[in-house]
A and B are shown apart, each in its own frame.
Chain A
Amino acid sequence: MLSNFLSNYRSVAGLIFVVLAIVLVEFFEVRTSVYPSLLPFFEWLKYSSWIGYLGITYGSIYATIQAVHLISMAIIGGTVLVTDLRLLGVLLKDIPSETITKGTHQCFKYSLSVAIATGIFCAAGVADKVYYMSVFWIKMLALLVGSCFMFFIKQPLLNSRSHSEIDPWILRILAVASITIWFTVAATGRWIGFS
């Protein structure tokens, strides 16, 4: 029976596993016990790694890469908004949502790669500061959840069939969840910069 469930409901089983893992990590206080051991890595990232050295020493390089980071985040925001507002039926109603979903996802993938690469550089320059900021960890968590949601939940469903065959309320809740999570990534990112 369990193997039958696992073969028929692979995504649901994966989701249950992830939720259970999060509950267990919090219950056994794994997160709080791992947190102090990460400090040496963040100190090394700022003071000993070459990206940390570049970020601290050359303000112009740091500013340029941060600009690329912000532009890639803007492109991510644009692709997410266009896709999700189309799924909500707010804009571009004359274009099939399947076309928009597939077209924007390519752009999203490249922008996310650039945002992560430049984001590591930006974090390295202020690693000893962001380590102590809870909002930084919220952003990392939101980025991880948003990426997993996009690649393992949202896109597989939207690419599996015509959108007219999917319940409209499922499309709406998908769009709302996607906008909310990427809004959180953007807002917490600016919060880090503002603090």
Chain B
Amino acid sequence: MNNSKWDDRTIAAASSSVIIVGALLYYWVGEVQSTVELLELAYGSFKFFNNPMIF
């Protein structure tokens, strides 16, 4: 089993990596989405440079 290319450690590494990257992408995309929704709620529309605290 240890001589196989897809042995225990390789399968664990590949599957855990996919789970971690997938979960973190889901988290960060969710954070971006909620930020955009918050900006739309506050200012009516989302633009990159519509922060009244600055302009």
Binding site for B on A (CB under 8 A): 8-12, 14-15, 19, 138, 142, 145, 149, 153-154, 156-157, 160, 166-167, 170, 173-174, 176-177, 180-181, 184
Contact = CB atoms under 8 A, between A and B. Distances in A.
17 contacts: A8-B8, A9-B8, A9-B12, A10-B8, A11-B9, A11-B12, A12-B12, A142-B24, A154-B13, A156-B9, A157-B13, A160-B9, A167-B5, A173-B14, A176-B17, A177-B18, A181-B24
Given A8-B8, A9-B8, A138-B27, A180 B14 contact: no
Contacts of B9: 11, 153, 156-157, 160
Contact of B11 (A12, A156, A173): A12
A170 B20 contact: no
Given A15-B16, A149-B16, A166 B10 contact: yes
B15 A12 contact: yes
Contacts of B28: 184
Chain A interface, DSSP helix/strand/loop, else mixed: helix
B1 interface: yes
B21 interface: yes
B10 A14 contact: no
Interface string B18-55: 11110011011000000000000000000000000000
Interface residues of B, number: 20
B22 to A, nearest CB: 10
Contacts of B5: 167
A156 B24 CA distance: 23
Contacts of A154: 13
B20 A181 contact: yes
Given A153-B16, A170-B13, 9 more contacts: A8-B1, A11-B11, A12-B8, A15-B12, A166-B10, A170-B14, A177-B21, A180-B21, A184-B27
9 smallest CB-CB distances across A and B, nearest first, come from A11-B12, A177-B17, A173-B17, A157-B9, A177-B20, A9-B8, A157-B13, A8-B1, A180-B24
B21 A173 contact: yes
Contacts of B17: 153, 173-174, 176-177
